[in-house]
Structure 1
Amino acid sequence: MQNNLPTPYFMIDEDKLIHNLEIAKKLKELSGVKLVLALKCFSTWGVFDVIKPYLDGTTSSGPYEVKLGYETFGKETHAYSVGYSEDDVKSVVGMCDKMIFNSLSQLDAHRHLVEGKASIGVRLNPGVSRAGQDLADPARQFSRLGVQEDQLNAELFDSLDGVMFHMNCENKSADDFISLLDSISQRFGTYLDKLDWVSLGGGVFFTWPGYEVEKLAQALKQFSEKHGVQLYLEPGEAIITKTADLVVTVVDVVENGMKTAIVDSATEAHRLDTLIYNEPATIGEATENGEFEYVIGSCSCLAGDQFCVAKFDKPLEIGQRLHIIDSAGYTMVKLNWFNGLKMPSVYYKRSNDDIQKLNEFGYDDFKRSLSQWSVH
C-alpha cells in the first residue's frame, strides 16, 4: 500500500517512535525526572495515544499549543510563552497545571490571574548554553529569553513554585549537559532550594546513538536530591528523531553545470528548518560514494530552495521516489502554503505494517488559509 500513496507525504514509523520512547522510559526510571513533550517541535496529536503512556504531559510556547496539549494529551500541561497578553493568560489558565512567565514584568502583570489556579514559575537565563547555531542559542547576546541573573533577588523565590531553564539545542553530550547543570547548581542553588520544581528545558538529545543515558540519569537524580525539587525535561527532537520520512517524487531532471533532480516538495513550504539553518537534508536512497551526483531541488520558485546535494549508485529517473529522512521535528509544525504547493499528507505505519492516514489536505484548505470571506 505504501508505494501507491500519492506524494508528497510524511510517514511516521511506530517501531522507531517506540524505540525512542523506551529510552525515555529508562531515563525516567533511573533519574526520577518527569518528561513533558515540547509541542513546538512536534504536535501531530494523532499519535499521542502511543506517546502518552511514556511521558508525563506537554509543554507549550503559545496559547493554542496549551489547548492542544490539554485536549489531546492530558496529564500535566505546562504553559510558557515569550510574551503573554492578558487575554492569552485568561484563555489558558484553566487548562494548565504550571504557568511559566518569561520576564518579571510579565509575572507582575499577570500573577493575579494565575494564583490559586496553577503553579507559577519564571524562566531564568543562565547565560550559558549548548547550541549549534547562534539563531537557536537562548544565551546569545541581548537574549530576550528569560530573566537574567543580575535581576534576581532572594525574595522573588519566596513567591514562586518553580523555574525553567532552557539552554540546549541538540546537545548530544551528557558531559556537556552535566557541566551546564553544575553551573546552574553553583550559581542558582540557594534560590532553587526554595522551590518545588525545576524544568531544565529541552534540547537534551538523550536518544542519539551512543548517548550516555545512565550518566545523565545519575546527574539529574543527584541535582534533584541536592535541591529538593522535582525535575522536568522538555524533550521534542529526542522523542521523534529518525521516526519519520518525507516521501517525494522526482518530477524533472535539469542540468546547468550540475544535474538537479526536482521533487514535488519544497524546503520553503514543507521542511523549513533545512532552509533556515542551512543544514542539508539526508536522502535515504543516497550513497556516500555513489557515481551519480545531484542537487535535490525543490519545486518552489525560490532560487536557493534545495534539500541537499547527494550521490547515488544509479542515475535518478523521473517518477522515482526518494525518502527525506528524519523529517518529524520542527517540520510538520512549520508547514505553509508557499507557491500553493500540495501539502504533504501524514501517515502512520503500525508495527504490523498497516498504514493509517492521520491527515490529508486539499485546495479548500489552501483557499481557507488565505481568506474566508470576500470584500463586498
Structure 2
Amino acid sequence: MTVNNKEQLKTPYFMINEDKLIQNLEKAKQLKELSGVKLVLALKCFSTWGVFDIIKPYLDGTTSSGPFEVKLGYETFGGETHAYSVGYSEDDVKEVADICDKLIFNSQTQLAAHRHLVEGKASMGLRLNPGVSYAGQDLANPARQFSRLGVQADHIDPTVFDSIDGVMFHMNCENKDADAFIELLDAISEQFGEHLNKLDWVSLGGGVFFTWPDYALEKLAAALKAFSEKHDVQLYLEPGEAIITKTTDLVVTVVDVVENGMKTAIVDSATEAHRLDTLIYNEPASIAEASDKGEHEYVIGSCSCLAGDQFCVTQFDEPLKIGQRLHILDSAGYTMVKLNWFNGLKMPSIYCERSTGEIQKLNEFGYDDFKRSLSQWSVK
C-alpha cells in the first residue's frame, strides 16, 4: 500500500528513508571492496524485512541472536545465515541447524552438548571473549566484569580449535574510532593468533561505526585486510547501527503542554514502548525541529504513565503548539525490534519513503494485535 502525502499519515509512525539507507550501504560496499571482509546484518538491531530488498544487494547475509531471527534471515534475506545465541536449548539447535550456514556457540559446554546436531549441516564456531572492548556504557560492554559472553582466554581448551571452523568476537559498541578498533584487532591477534591460524573464518562482531561522518574507512579496510591475510581467514563484520544510522525518524504529535517548574510537551509516543534504548541508556533523543539557540525550552515527554519517561530536554525558536508534529531523529536501531504494548499505547506504523518519492506502508498495528499479544484463548 502506498500513500501520497505524509501529512495524511496518523502519528506515531516510523519513516525510513531509502536514499539515506543507500548512502550507508554504499560505504559498506566500499569497505567490502577494499578489505575483502564480508558483512552480515545484525537482526537484533534492525529486522524490518520490508526494506531488505534495498539492503540485500550490498550485504552478504544476516546474523542472529535467537532462533526466530535465524528463521527471519533465512526466509526474507537469504545469502549467508549466521546463527548465534547466548544459550541454546536442544530444540533451538534442531530448529536452526538445517537453515543456517554458520552456527556459533557461546560456550564450550554448549558446543560439546549440541555439536552432534550440527555436524554435516552447518559450519561450527565458538564465541571468544578477548577481555578487551570499546563500549560507552558498562551495560553494553561485552568484556565487563563477570561477563557471560564468550569463552575467556584462560578457560579455553586448546584442542577445541581442531574441531571448529571459526570463532566470533563481539567487543565493540558504537565504536567511531578506527584506531581504537585496530588496537583491539592487534590485541586479538596477539592473544589468539596461534588458534586463529587453524580456522577458516573469524567474525569480529558488530558495533564498528564505519558509516559515521569522517570515519577513517580506508584505514579500517587496510587493517582488516592485513589481519585476514596474516591468519589466512575470511573475516566477517556484523553491522547493525552502521547500516541504518540516521535513516529513520519517529514522527509524533504534541497532544498537550503542561508546566510544573518547566514546560513539558507531551507527545503521542513513549520511550518505554517505542524507543526503549533512550530510557535504558539514558541517552536523550534529538528532535529535528529543535534549535540550539532557541529561547523556548521544553521537556519532550512521553504519554506513558512512567514518571521519568521522556525523550529529551531541548530548545525551540517558537513555542510548541498542540497538534504540532515533531521528528525524533535516528530512530531505526533497537526500536522496531523492541516495540511493546506498555500502557496499551498505539503502536507506531512503519513506512518507507522510496527514492521515487513514493511512501510505502510496511506495517500498521491495531487493537486486535494488542489483544492477541496477551491471550489467544480464554479459560472457562
Q: Output the TM-score relative to the length of structure 1.
A: 1.00
Query: Aligned partner of 2:325: which letter?
Result: R
Which consecutive segments of 4 or more residues in structure 1 shift more than 3 A? none
Secondary structure of the 1:96 match is coil
Q: Residues 178-197 of structure 1 correspond to what in structure 2 (within 5 A)?
A: 178-197=182-201
Query: Aligned partner of 2:333: which letter?
Result: G
Q: Residues 178-327 of structure 1 correspond to what in structure 2 (within 5 A)?
A: 178-327=182-331
Secondary structure of the 1:168 match is coil
Q: Which residue does 1:19 correspond to in 2?
A: 23
Rounded to whole Å, the distance in 1 between the matches of 2:219 and 2:141 is 24
Q: Which residue does 1:93 correspond to in 2?
A: 97
Cα distance, 1:244 vs structure 2: 0.2
Query: Aligned partner of 1:43: which letter?
Result: S
Q: Residues 1-376 of structure 1 correspond to what in structure 2 (within 5 A)?
A: 1-376=5-380
Rounded to whole Å, the distance in 1 between the matches of 2:158 and 2:129 is 16
Rounded to whole Å, the distance in 2 between the matches of 1:320 and 1:4 is 14
Secondary structure of the 2:287 match is coil
Rounded to whole Å, the distance in 1 between the matches of 2:22 and 2:342 is 33
Cα distance, 1:114 vs structure 2: 0.2
Rounded to whole Å, the distance in 2 between the matches of 1:341 and 1:187 is 49
Secondary structure of the 1:169 match is coil
C-alpha deviations, 1:179-238, integer Å up to 9, x for none?
000000011000000000000000000000010000000000000000000000000000
Rounded to whole Å, the distance in 1 between the matches of 2:157 and 2:13 is 51
Secondary structure of the 1:131 match is coil
Rounded to whole Å, the distance in 1 between the matches of 2:321 and 2:119 is 62
Query: Aligned partner of 2:27: which letter?
Result: I
Rounded to whole Å, the distance in 2 between the matches of 1:154 and 1:105 is 14
C-alpha deviations, 1:11-69, integer Å up to 9, x for none?
00000000000000000000000000000000000000110000000000000000000
Query: Aligned partner of 2:326: which letter?
Result: L
Rounded to whole Å, the distance in 1 between the matches of 2:42 and 2:261 is 43
Cα distance, 1:145 vs structure 2: 0.1
Identity of aligned residues (%): 82
Cα distance, 1:154 vs structure 2: 2.8
Cα distance, 1:3 vs structure 2: 1.5
Secondary structure of the 1:361 match is coil
Query: Aligned partner of 1:69: which letter?
Result: G
Rounded to whole Å, the distance in 2 between the matches of 1:44 and 1:298 is 24
C-alpha deviations, 1:139-181, integer Å up to 9, x for none?
0000000001011233111111000000000000000000000
Secondary structure of the 1:106 match is helix
Cα distance, 1:286 vs structure 2: 0.3
Secondary structure of the 2:218 match is helix
- Structure 2 unaligned runs (5+)? none
